């Protein structure tokens, strides 16, 4: 049977602990992690394959997920989440300085609301229905909120959502929240302020809290990105047959990091496969921080223990990559442990490099990343200059969100297009552009 375990003191909890409205350890208030029955998962997958009824979305991996799979048809969002492309990127590999590596982009910008965070929200709206919760709430810089709003709008029975967002979030992201029908509370402060207000509202009103990292189910939903990439790598970038599941691990996975929950989810998916004997190795994880939001990289460089990280001071977070701007990494302890357990590393990149890599990735692959997603590519470039990646290795960069959500960032590196004007004769002349 699956159970929960504290990320700091190791105390174990039954799953009912979450159902009763508790989200963190009652000893040290640290985040909780799911520990699964890996033998049972292995037996189920080997004997039954993947979920045939949900084969086109993330719930094809229901054997790995803490949900009642028999009720998914009536509880899961109608829009399919997951099943996103794994894009071979040999031209980008040359641009990033790893021409001898097999580079792939796991393009989660193709999820329904444009980000990987749809995976967490899809699972959470299923769980809130299982637990009988009437309202769900979250704090967000934009993507998590948009994901939650979209998933609530897509369930067979509409779910009510309240979302706390810093008023500085990109207008496109705020518009997404509203168009899906969520109640939006703009906070005249930081993401950390929004996070604290969301916790207060959740406690006061009994709302189901989706806050990233704080709710252990968020990483469980996000881990499906790793299950997918490993299945796709086993089949040349495509998905295999649900009847006979096969998985192959890459050598490295690069992930942009803010609050640490996505890389925690990536790690959990890989660990589940490894512990179930479905992949032969654990890849090295590369966590990429903006140097203007570097809580995780700082904790890793200082070699802090989990207990020391509990009391670590916030960093100043003002990166242009809003999706990874977090003064406190709410799932930072798990993120740092994931890097340590896989013998990977953290790397910091500046905002100029992040913005430049929006253009680099887009022009070499046709995948248009938001700044936070481009951050992963910027990290690869920086590490490649130091000879970090072994030649011939397989590298996956996770593209966590679409650039369409932050057009000003793209415009800042592309500049304004040429304007062809009429001459005095009233005519347009192409040679004015061609010269």
pLDDT at 19 over 90: no
Overall average pLDDT of the 355-382 stretch: 98
Strand stretches in 233-341, DSSP E: 252-256, 284-290
* Residue range 167-189, pLDDT digits in tens: 988 888 899 899 999 999 999 99
Work out the mean pLDDT of the chain and round it to a whole number: 95
Higher pLDDT, 86 or 157: 86
Per DSSP, the three-state class of 128 is helix
Angle (CA) 143 144 149, round 5°: 95
Separation between Cα atoms, residue 231 and residue 228, nearest integer Å: 5
Per DSSP, the three-state class of 311 is coil
Q: Cβ(32)–Cβ(4) under 8 Å?
A: yes
- What separation in angstroms does the CA of 36 have from each of 4, 137, 226, 242, 307? 9, 27, 16, 21, 24
pLDDT at 120 over 80: yes
* Residue range 253-288, pLDDT digits in tens: 999 999 999 999 999 999 999 999 999 999 999 999
Q: Cβ(306)–Cβ(30) under 8 Å?
A: yes
Q: Cβ(380)–Cβ(286) under 8 Å?
A: yes
Per DSSP, the three-state class of 161 is strand
pLDDT at 156 (0 to 100): 87
- Quote the DSSP letter at residue 62: G
Plot region of 413 (φ>0 → left; ψ -120 to 50 → alpha; else → beta): alpha
- What separation in angstroms does the CA of 128 have from each of 179, 203, 238? 22, 16, 32
* Residue range 405-416, pLDDT digits in tens: 999 999 999 988
pLDDT at 303 (0 to 100): 98
Separation between Cα atoms, residue 279 and residue 281, nearest integer Å: 6
Overall average pLDDT of the 40-65 stretch: 95
DSSP-assigned beta bridge partners for residue 256: 288
Report which secondary-structure segment, H or E, holds 397: strand 394-399
* Residue range 294-344, pLDDT digits in tens: 999 999 999 999 999 999 999 999 999 999 999 999 999 999 999 999 999
pLDDT at 432 over 90: no
Q: Which domains can be identified in the chain, with CATH numbers? A: 86-114+218-414 (3.40.50.1100)
pLDDT at 1 over 80: no
HEC-encoded secondary structure of 65-120: CCCCHHHHHHHCCCCCCCCCCEEECHHHHHHHCCCCCEEEEEEHHHCCCCECCHHH
Separation between Cα atoms, residue 331 and residue 123, nearest integer Å: 18
pLDDT at 10 (0 to 100): 97
């Amino acid at each position: 049977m699956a159970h929960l375990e504290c990320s700091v003191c190791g105390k174990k909890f039954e799953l009912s602990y979450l159902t009763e409205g508790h989200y963190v350890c009652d000893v040290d208030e640290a985040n909780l992690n799911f520990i699964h029955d890996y033998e049972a998962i292995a037996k189920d997958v080997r004997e039954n394959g993947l979920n045939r009824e949900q084969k086109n979305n993330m719930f094809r991996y229901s054997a790995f997920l803490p949900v009642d799979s028999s009720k998914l048809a009536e509880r899961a969002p109608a829009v399919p989440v997951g099943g996103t492309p794994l894009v071979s990127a040999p031209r980008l590999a040359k641009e990033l300085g790893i021409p001898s590596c097999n580079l792939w982009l796991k393009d989660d910008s193709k999820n329904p609301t444009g980000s990987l965070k749809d995976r967490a929200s899809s699972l959470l709206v299923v769980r809130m229905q299982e637990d009988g919760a009437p309202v769900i709430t979250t704090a967000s810089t934009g993507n998590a909120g948009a994901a939650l709003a979209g998933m609530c709008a897509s369930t067979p029975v509409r779910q009510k959502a309240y979302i706390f967002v810093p008023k500085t979030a990109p207008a496109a992201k705020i518009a997404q929240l509203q168009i899906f029908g969520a109640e939006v509370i703009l906070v005249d402060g930081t993401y950390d302020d929004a996070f604290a207000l969301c916790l207060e509202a959740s406690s006061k009103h009994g709302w189901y809290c989706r806050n990233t990292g704080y709710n252990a189910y968020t990483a469980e939903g996000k881990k499906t990105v790793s299950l997918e990439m490993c299945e796709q790598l086993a089949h040349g970038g495509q998905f295999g047959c649900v009847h006979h599941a096969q998985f192959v691990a890459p050598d490295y996975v690069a992930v942009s990091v803010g609050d640490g929950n996505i890389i925690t989810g990536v790690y959990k998916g890989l660990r589940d496969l490894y512990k179930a004997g479905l992949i032969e190795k654990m890849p090295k994880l590369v966590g990429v921080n903006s140097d203007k939001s570097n809580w995780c990289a700082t904790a890793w460089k200082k070699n802090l223990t989990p207990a020391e990280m509990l009391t670590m001071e916030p960093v100043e977070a003002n990166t242009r990559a809003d999706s990874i701007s977090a003064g406190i990494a709410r799932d930072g302890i798990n993120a740092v442990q994931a890097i340590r357990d896989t013998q990977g590393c953290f790397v910091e990149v500046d905002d100029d490099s992040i913005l430049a890599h929006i253009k680099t990735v887009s022009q070499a692959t046709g995948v248009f990343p938001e700044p936070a997603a481009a951050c992963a590519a910027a990290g690869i470039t920086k590490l490649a200059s130091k000879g970090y990646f072994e030649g011939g290795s397989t590298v996956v960069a996770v593209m966590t969100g679409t650039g369409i959500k932050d057009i000003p960032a793209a415009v800042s590196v592309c500049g304004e297009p040429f304007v062809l004007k009429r001459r005095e004769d009233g005519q347009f002349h192409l040679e004015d552009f061609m010269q």
